């Protein structure tokens, strides 16, 4: 991924704060209204680092990002799911910390958004029906195996 620029603490949040998963000492901030960049904010260093940007064809407005169950083998990584918004999308990212010594050698399939593909059918997964209003959608992962996605959306819906 090459060199990543580090940004000193900003007074304005660069993106959507409502939907911010965390990993170790990082808060992962992914896009916002008409802002496609994703950042890692390091709570101890008090700095931001650019992770990536959403694909050009994705317009963000009221989307949600959740952290899927951690891979026990990787303490510095996790999988993120981004979906919803007024202009619905469903994307997935294998996130690996941009703060480690090995951050310059991150694999090509990490720290980038990709369409969420069903491995059985090899088709893109879409979360939500066409008629659902997923602007300002919120979600949480739960269940005994962290395999349930609870989705809350306007006006008063939970799926």
142: left (phi over 0), alpha (psi -120 to 50) or beta: beta
Which tokens belong to 120? 């059985």
Instruction: Output the average pLDDT for the chain.
Output: 82
What's the pTM? 0.82
Which tokens belong to 54? 């959403």
Beta bridge partners of 38: 30, 52
pLDDT bucket at 9, cuts 50 / 70 / 90:
very low
Per-residue pLDDT tens over the stretch 32-44: 887 899 999 999 9
By the 10 Å C-beta count (0-12 exposed, 13-18 middle, 19+ buried), 20 is classed as middle
What is the signed CA dihedral for 23, 68, 7, 111, rounded to 10 degrees?
Answer: 120
């Amino acid at each position: 991924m090459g060199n990543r620029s580090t940004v000193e603490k900003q007074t304005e949040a660069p993106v959507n704060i409502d939907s911010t998963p965390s990993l170790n000492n990082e808060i992962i901030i992914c896009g916002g209204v008409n802002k496609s960049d994703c950042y890692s904010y390091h709570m101890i260093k008090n700095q931001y680092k650019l992770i990536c940007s959403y694909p050009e064809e994705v317009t963000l407005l009221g989307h949600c990002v959740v952290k899927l169950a951690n891979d026990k083998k990787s303490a510095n990584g996790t999988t993120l799911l981004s979906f919803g918004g007024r202009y619905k999308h469903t994307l997935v990212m294998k996130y690996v910390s941009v703060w480690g010594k090995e951050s310059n050698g991150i694999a090509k399939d990490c720290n980038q958004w990709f369409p969420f593909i069903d491995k059985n059918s090899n088709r893109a997964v879409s979360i939500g029906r066409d008629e659902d209003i997923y602007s300002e959608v919120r979600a949480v992962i739960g269940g005994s195996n962290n395999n349930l996605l609870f989705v809350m959306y306007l006006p008063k819906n939970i799926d």
